[in-house]
Structure 1
Amino acid sequence: MQVMLGSVVSLKSGDQLMTAENFGEHADARCSQFVDMAIQHEWLALIALQPQDPPKAIVASGAKKVVK
């Protein structure tokens, strides 16, 4: 799998999930992530990124969980 615009990625060394939003001229990508309820942008080398499966959306259901 390769990194494309809008891909969910993380650093190969491990980190939070980020979104690849732009590609630079030097084999790098501008990635964004939320840190303390604010968006943060960073340019990262493509070789340091690995694509991830996007997180599953949590769907609220009307069923109630019963705890005994």
Structure 2
Amino acid sequence: MYPINFCSMASTCIHDGRGVCASSPDGCSRRSFLDQCDMYEYNCDYGTEYMTKVTNPCTTGQPDFLC
């Protein structure tokens, strides 16, 4: 299985303005993004691997599970 190329995804993504809540692979960190394209750009720029978990902004600031 190949790693996800977030830079490639960011360059072809079309912003739709639908906010997403994303988690780090270990579930210990969550962030809100303006939309999925914004998440791809962040992952590309900072070498992170946030993935969409919920299709609305993170409101609680709580991790998905205890770390």
**What TM-score bracket applies, with the shorter chain setting the length?**
0.3 to 0.5
> TM (normalized to structure 2)?
0.33
Q: Higher helix fraction: Structure 1 or Structure 2?
A: 2
